[in-house]
Chains A and B, each alone.
Chain A
Amino acid sequence: AQTVTQSQPEMSVQEAETVTLSCTYDTSENNYYLFWYKQPPSRQMILVIRQEAYKQQNATENRFSVNFQKAAKSFSLKISDSQLGDTAMYFCAFMNYGGSQGNLIFGKGTKLSVKP
């Protein structure tokens, strides 16, 4: 069974600085998808970024980028120029490509606080 591990329960960063959130996963599959979701205090789950395992190029979305290391099964999220609105829980998630109908497997999350 696939598992997702986020080893940092909490992190903080100063506004305008850069922070990296860690995520590792375990799977025997070769084709899959990885996601980072953000959950602000409002509790809504918002997609931050997505990576297809077959793509070697790391995904980027404005201030958000990932470092995808397939061999190491690592998928970290880098937030540049942190803003107060980035304060939230961040969940790393895995989705298998084949077989089941695409349910997401989530890590336990990292609580990020951006300080002014």
Chain B
Amino acid sequence: EPEVTQTPSHQVTQMGQEVILRCVPISNHLYFYWYRQILGQKVEFLVSFYNNEISEKSEIFDDQFSVERPDGSNFTLKIRSTKLEDSAMYFCASSGKTGRQETQYFGPGTRLLVL
């Protein structure tokens, strides 16, 4: 069964450094998402992406964040200058072979720790 994959599974970085989190959505899905989960808290929406552009973003997704689909398979989240409060689990999800109202399938997550 196809699944969403994410790399790396864990990343440790110094405050102020740039990080890129990578995701490979399910093949032929059209909609891509990033969510984050700070330890012990609920999952929060960051951004959705469709047709090579951002569809919607939350207030969390400020100028230090960016997303990109550099090729036909990868979907990346870049944090330009990491802060301590960016430490969280980051989940990628994809959906929508035919429309966005389909179930979102999540990857296993990347645990980011900012020191």
Residues of chain A at the chain B interface (Cβ within 8 Å)? 33, 35, 37, 42-47, 50, 91, 93, 95, 97, 100-109
**In the complex, given contacts A33-B101, A44-B107, what are 13 additional A-B residue pairs having Cβ atoms less than 8 angstroms apart?**
A37-B106, A43-B89, A47-B105, A101-B31, A101-B48, A101-B56, A102-B48, A102-B95, A102-B96, A102-B100, A102-B101, A103-B58, A109-B42
List CB contacts (< 8 Å) of B1-59 with chain A.
31, 33, 35, 41-45, 48, 50, 55-56, 58
Q: Which residues of chain B come closer than 8 Å to A43, judged between CB atoms?
A: 89, 108-109, 111
Asked whether B103 is an interface residue with its Cβ less than 8 Å from the other chain, the reply is yes
Contact check, A44 vs B106: say whether CB atoms are below 8 A apart: yes
Please report whether the interface of chain B is mostly helix, strand, loop or mixed according to DSSP: strand
List CB contacts (< 8 Å) of B72-115 with chain A.
89, 91, 93, 95-96, 100-101, 103-109, 111
Q: Which residues of chain B come closer than 8 Å to A47, judged between CB atoms?
A: 103-106
Contact check, A50 vs B106: say whether CB atoms are below 8 A apart: no
Q: Which residues of chain A come closer than 8 Å to B101, judged between CB atoms?
A: 33, 95, 97, 102
Contact check, A103 vs B45: say whether CB atoms are below 8 A apart: yes
The smallest beta-carbon distance between B31 and chain A, in angstroms, is 7
Closest 5 CB pairs of A and B: A101-B55, A45-B106, A103-B45, A102-B100, A106-B43
| Alpha-carbon separation in the docked complex, A33 to B103 (Å) | 9
Contact check, B42 vs A107: say whether CB atoms are below 8 A apart: yes
Closest to A44 in B: B108
| Alpha-carbon separation in the docked complex, A43 to B103 (Å) | 19
Closest to B95 in A: A102
| Alpha-carbon separation in the docked complex, A43 to B50 (Å) | 26
Q: Which residues of chain A come closer than 8 Å to B96, judged between CB atoms?
A: 102
| Alpha-carbon separation in the docked complex, A5 to B60 (Å) | 21
- A sample of 22 cross-chain residue pairs with beta-carbon separation below 8 angstroms, ordered by A number, consists of A43-B89, A43-B108, A43-B109, A43-B111, A44-B108, A44-B109, A45-B43, A45-B106, A47-B103, A91-B42, A91-B43, A100-B55, A101-B56, A102-B31, A102-B101, A103-B33, A103-B45, A103-B48, A104-B35, A105-B45, A106-B42, A106-B43
